[in-house]
Amino acid sequence: MAQEPKRSRGRPRAWDDKGDQNTIKSLDRALEVIVRLGEMQGATLSEIASELGSSPATVYRILSTFQGRGFVDFDERDQIWSIGPAAFLTGSHFLRRTSLVERARPIMRHLMEATGETANLGIERDGKVLFLGQVETHATIRAFFPPGTEGAMHSSGIGKALLSRMDDTRQRQVLAAGKLEQFTPHTLTDPEAMIADLRTTRARGYAFDGEERNIGMRCIAAPVFNVYGEAVAGISVSGPTARITDDRIETLARDVIGAAQRLTAAIGGNYRPAG
């Protein structure tokens, strides 16, 4: 009797995923270097070493290894290390893992053209908003969130749209996980005030960021749902207060909600109305 072929596994059966034996400390340290370099948006060797509390020699060996693979670049003239093209190409595989970004692009473009404002797409990741895509307005003053940018959920339209659809326990966990940092005088930093705002957001079907992250900028966002009716992403428009005036909010909100409904349908989701 022919033996059945062995089934491939993602990890050795006997290993404990949570144990230190399954981590490579040197690799973890190397990844910390490239993550921090990305956050710094370019830095000298001494600045990176100081930021990480590591020796310049150790950091240099790590950077040189990444440079050989194209994950970092080095500017000889200014002596600045920066993220390289291989890091972008590798990260782009994350975006292609789901049809969300691909399906969202034409919907975001239509939303931008209908409103005249920049359209954004984001998801929740580790208690933060991760921006996956943006279609910029042609207007001179506009918001800019390049793919890969992270932001605080409590001060973001998309973040509040997603928070509003979480159950109370998960909502409080996310809010308690990090300090509600005050970015502007309009930022909600009191947890109870934040929760009250999220109740309002859920009831009306859209979130509103009124200069809570940046003075002079406003954002209107609505959640996108998967097949189980779970909010898995948010779509928004953002722009200056001079254009997103009080009398335009309801009209823009209808456009954003409509875009969220179309994207939900495009990914086979089940849109959950407000309330």
Distance CA 187, CA 246 (A): 18
Q: Please tell me the least confidently modeled range out of 6-15, 89-98, 145-154, 212-221.
A: 6-15
Distance CA 59, CA 3 (A): 50
Quote the pLDDT of residue 154: 93
Torsion, Cα 128 132 136 142, to 10 degrees, reads 10
Distance CA 159, CA 188 (A): 13
Is the per-residue pLDDT at 102 higher than 70? yes
Distances (CA, A) of 259 to 20, 33, 220, 223, 250: 45, 39, 12, 10, 14
Q: Which two tokens stand for residue 112?
A: 């931008």
Q: Which long-range contacts (CB under 8 A, 24 or more apart) does 63-72 make?
A: 63/33, 63/37, 65/30, 66/30, 66/33, 66/34, 71/34, 72/34, 72/37
pLDDT bucket at 14, cuts 50 / 70 / 90: low
Averaged pLDDT for residues 212-225? 95
Residue 50 carries which side chain, given as an amino acid letter?
S
All domains in the chain, ordered by first residue: 20-89 (1.10.10.10), 98-266 (3.30.450.40)
Give the predicted TM-score (pTM) of the model: 0.68
Quote the pLDDT of residue 177: 75
Quote the pLDDT of residue 212: 94
Q: Please tell me the least confidently modeled range out of 11-25, 214-228, 240-254.
A: 11-25
Terminal CA-CA length for the chain: 60
Is the per-residue pLDDT at 18 higher than 60? no
Distance CA 218, CA 114 (A): 17
Averaged pLDDT for residues 206-233? 94
Q: Are 133 and 121 in contact (CB under 8 A)?
A: yes
- The larger pLDDT score, comparing residue 166 to residue 93, is at 166
Is the per-residue pLDDT at 86 higher than 90? no
267 Rama class: left (phi>0) / alpha (psi -120 to 50) / beta: alpha
Quote the pLDDT of residue 196: 93
Averaged pLDDT for residues 79-95? 81
Distance CA 265, CA 171 (A): 25
Q: Phi/psi at 9 (nearest 5 deg)?
A: -125, 155
pLDDT bucket at 227, cuts 50 / 70 / 90: confident
Distance CA 21, CA 31 (A): 18
Q: Which residue has the tokens 């990305």?
A: 38
Q: Which long-range contacts (CB under 8 A, 24 or more apart) does 65-73 make?
A: 65/30, 66/30, 66/33, 66/34, 71/34, 72/34, 72/37
Q: Please tell me the least confidently modeled range out of 144-148, 184-188, 258-262.
A: 144-148
Quote the pLDDT of residue 168: 86
Is the per-residue pLDDT at 156 higher than 80? yes
Distance CA 264, CA 272 (A): 10
Distance CA 164, CA 275 (A): 11
Q: Could you tell me where the DSSP H helices lie in 83-146?
A: 85-96, 100-115
Q: Are 162 and 130 in contact (CB under 8 A)?
A: no
**Quick one: which H or E segment has residue 254?**
helix 249-266
Is the per-residue pLDDT at 96 higher than 60? no
Distance CA 51, CA 36 (A): 8
Quote the pLDDT of residue 126: 84
Across the chain, mean pLDDT equals 87
